[in-house]
Amino acid sequence: MRTAIAVPAPVEIIDRLVGDAVASQVGSGDWAGAVRAARPLVGEIEGLRERLRVAGISRVLLVTTDGVGVVAEQLAPGEPRLIVLDDTDPVQVADALAGDLDATVLVVSDPSGSAAGGVDLLWDTVEHAMRAEGLDPAAQTVVVAPPGAPMIDRASGATTVLGPPDGRGPWSAFTAYALVPAGLAGADVAALLADAAAARPALVADDRDNPALVLGALLAEARTVALSGAHAEGAAEQLGAAVGAAGPLPVVVEQAGAPGWDGADLTVTSDEAEPADVTLAGPTAARLLLWQHATAVAAHLLGVGVGQESHFPAPTGQESGFPALAGTGIEGEIGAGFEDGGIVVRAAGGWLPPEVDTVAGAVKALVSAAAERPAGHLAVHAYLDRTDDASAAVLRGELARRTGLVTTFGWAPRCLPGSGQHVQGVLCQLTGGVDEDAGPTPDPLAELQLGAAAADAAQRDVPVLRLHLTDRLIGLVTLARAVQEI
C-alpha cells in the first residue's frame, strides 16, 4: 500500500486518536473482519466460475442495490464481462438484455435479503427475457443473500451463496455480495483478499504513522472533498455511508484541476500522475480497505460512531438504492410545468418564476436560487442510462465552471447514499423517456424509476428542478445549450 499524503497531519487530533486506541477499536468491528471471514469464499467462487466456464457462460449480469454494484465494479475494474443493473432505467435494462443471454449468469445480490422494489422487478425482467429465449433461468442464476432471507426461498433451483447478515453497501466490499459477482467476472478473489490482509495490520495499529488515522483526521476536518480517478465514485459512496450528512461533501470530478478541484478543502486521487493532497496507490483491495478504515475514523471524530458499531452501518436516511415510492409518475408530485426542446420542465416548491418558459430560463433560475442559499451547492441527479446517456456527466464541470458553485453529479439512485445525502442547496433531476425502439422493456421499470426520482425530490427541503427528457438525445442537446447560456 503506497499512500502519499502531501498535507500536514493534524498532530493533536492524531495523538488523541492514538491515545484512545481508535484504530484498533475500528478494526474490531464486524465489517473490519470481513477480509478474514471471506477466505472460504475463494474456493467456492473459483469452483463456480469453472463450472460456468465449462457451460459456456462468461458474462455476468449483476442485479443489486445499496452500493454493492459500485464496489463490485471497483473489484473488477474495466471488466467488460460485468454488467451492473442497480437501477431500473428501461434503456439501460434493454441494453443489458440485448447481450448474449445464453452465455450470461444472473447474479442477484442483496444484503437485505428481501429483493424488494427494484431488485425484485429487475430479477423478474431478466428471468422473463431468459425464458423468452428458451433458457432455464434457475440454471443460470446465482443468488447472494444472508441466511434465512426470503430471497433464498424464491431462488428454488438456483445456486445460492450466503453472505453475512450485516453487510451493506460499500461496507460489503470484502463479502460475498461483491466478491461473488466480481470473481465470476474474472477478478482474482484470492489475490484481492491477500492484498487486503497484507494491508490490514498497518490500518489497525494505534500508531501516529497509521495512514487511516491521518486520512480520517483530514476527512473529518474538511467540508468538501474532491475525488478523482478510478476509485472516485466508490469513494464518494463509502464516505457517505460512513459519515452521512455530518461529514464532508464528496465532489467527484473528471480529473485533477477540473472545476471544483482547486476550491476543495481536501483533494484525493488514485491516479499517481495527478497532483493531490492525498494519493491512494497500490493494489485495489488495499486502497479500498484503507478508505473504509479512514472513513470510519472520520465518523468517530464526527460523533457518528461508525467505528464503535458492531454491525455494518446503513446510509443515513437511505436504506436502499431504490427509495420508497412517493408516486409513479412525474405529474402531481412535483407540480405543473412546460415543454421546451424535448424536455418537460417541472419545479417543486413554487420557487420557479411563472414567466419562465424555457429550459435555459429554468436552469438560470435554479442557479440563482443556489447562489442565494448558504450552502451554495448545486446537485445534479441523473436517472438515466449511464452508458447511452453518458454525455450528461459533462454537465457537472460546465455548471461548476460557469456558476462558481460547488457542483456534484451522480447517476441516481446509486449516488444517493454518497453525495446524495448532501443536497443542501438546490437539486436538478434528469429523467428520461423511453424510445419505442429501445426493446421489450415493460412499463413498470420506468414507473419505478420515476417513483424513485419523486421520492428523492420529496425528501428534500430545497428547490428541485425536474427536467424530463422526452427525447433523450434532443433533450441533452437542449440542456447543453441551456448551460452554455449561463
What is the arithmetic mean of pLDDT over 113-131?
92
- Residues 420 and 69: their CA atoms lie apart, in Å, by 17
Q: Would 163 be classed as within a structural domain?
A: yes
Which pLDDT tens digit goes with each residue over 78-98? 888 999 999 999 999 999 999
The least confident of 29-33, 59-63, 173-177, 199-203 is: 29-33
Q: pLDDT at residue 131 above 50?
A: yes
Full-model pTM = 0.92
Q: Would 79 be classed as within a structural domain?
A: yes
pLDDT at 435: 67
What is the arithmetic mean of pLDDT over 292-317?
67
Total structural domains within the chain: 3
pLDDT at 182: 97
Q: pLDDT at residue 440 above 60?
A: no
End of a domain among 192, 225, 254? 192
| Residue of higher predicted confidence among 5 and 423 | 5
Which pLDDT tens digit goes with each residue over 303-312? 986 533 333 3
473 and 348 part of one domain: yes
Straight-line distance from the first to the last Cα atom of the chain, in angstroms, rounded to the nearest whole number: 44
113 and 253 part of one domain: no
Which pLDDT tens digit goes with each residue over 49-60? 999 999 999 999
Q: Would 324 be classed as within a structural domain?
A: no
433 and 388 part of one domain: yes
54 and 146 part of one domain: yes
233 and 131 part of one domain: no
Q: pLDDT at residue 29 above 90?
A: no
pLDDT at 66: 67
74 and 151 part of one domain: yes
243 and 378 part of one domain: no
Q: pLDDT at residue 286 above 60?
A: yes
44 and 155 part of one domain: yes
149 and 53 part of one domain: yes
377 and 274 part of one domain: no
Q: Would 328 be classed as within a structural domain?
A: no
pLDDT at 221: 96
How confident is residue 319, by pLDDT bands cut at 50, 70 and 90? very low
pLDDT at 73: 95
Mean pLDDT taken over the chain: 89
Domain hosting 118: range is 33-192
pLDDT at 425: 87
Q: Would 323 be classed as within a structural domain?
A: no
Name the residue among 282, 460, 463, 272 with its Cα closest to residue 364.
463
pLDDT at 244: 87
Q: Would 27 be classed as within a structural domain?
A: no
End of a domain among 192, 222, 240? 192
pLDDT at 305: 64
What is the arithmetic mean of pLDDT over 426-454?
81
Rounded percentage of the chain residues whose pLDDT exceeds 70: 91
- CATH number, position 409: 3.40.50.10490
Q: pLDDT at residue 250 above 50?
A: yes
16 and 39 part of one domain: no
248 and 108 part of one domain: no
